[in-house]
Amino acid sequence: MPDQRFRVTAGPLDANAVASIVSSPDCGAVTTFVGLVRDENGGRRVLWLDYEAYEPLAVKAFTRIDEEAGERWPSIGLAIHHRTGRVEIGQPSVVIAAASPHRAEAFAACRYAIERIKQIAPIWKHEHFEGGEVWIEGATADPMDDDARRMAFAQCS
């Protein structure tokens, strides 16, 4: 059975369900990050987003992010679910849950995970806006780029 913590799915995301995967009796804190589709980007009226993923590599990227976070914060448990396909305004495109005995590590690991997703997860968004469409292209994905990894850690301290 695949690891339920790391998923790419065309179905709707449920933050509580993702949080429950990592919650356990020894965890006093669970933080969730829910990324939502926004109705504006760079002055454009966004109508919806279409997400495309290289699914097996995306799941491996999530696993790698978990390993990286675990080296820094050994007590955390992490889950990442990301959408593919059409996602409407206000709907979640990504849910991250980080659980830890204490809150500081849970907040930090959650932030680290979203920063790294944007750097190395092979996922693309196709923005449909009033008057056109455009592929949003962000970072050249390179998991071995230590500078990028340090930048992600720097966001969390």
Partner 1 sequence: MFVTIRLFARLREMAGAAELRRELPDGSIARAAWDSLVRDFPDFDDYTKAVSCAVNEEYARMAAPLNDGDEVAFLPPVSGGT
135 binds partner 1 (CB under 8 A): yes
CB of residue 117 to partner 1, shortest distance in Å: 5
Among 15, 29, 60, 107, binds partner 1 (CB under 8 A): 60
147 binds partner 1 (CB under 8 A): no
CB of residue 24 to partner 1, shortest distance in Å: 26
Interface stretch with partner 1, choices 9-17, 19-27, 70-78, 136-144 (CB under 8 A): 136-144
71 binds partner 1 (CB under 8 A): no
Which residue type is seen at 46? Answer: V
- Listing DSSP states for 8-48 in one string gives EESSPP-HHHHHHHH--TT-SEEEEEEEE--SEETTEEEEE
CB of residue 34 to partner 1, shortest distance in Å: 8
Bridge-based pairing of strands 132-136 and 123-129 is antiparallel
Q: Select from 37, 136, 116 the least CA-distant residue to 70.
A: 116
Window 20-59: residues binding partner 1 (CB under 8 A): 35-38, 51-54, 56-58
Q: Select from 64, 83, 71 the least CA-distant residue to 141.
A: 64
Window 82-121: residues binding partner 1 (CB under 8 A): 82, 93-94, 114, 117-121
CA separation for the pair 102, 48 (Å, rounded): 37
CA separation for the pair 21, 62 (Å, rounded): 15
69 binds partner 1 (CB under 8 A): no
**How many CB atoms are located within 10 Å of the residue 150 CB?**
9
Nearer to partner 1 by Cβ, of 16 and 135: the residue is 135
**How many CB atoms are located within 10 Å of the residue 154 CB?**
10
CB of residue 38 to partner 1, shortest distance in Å: 8
10 binds partner 1 (CB under 8 A): no
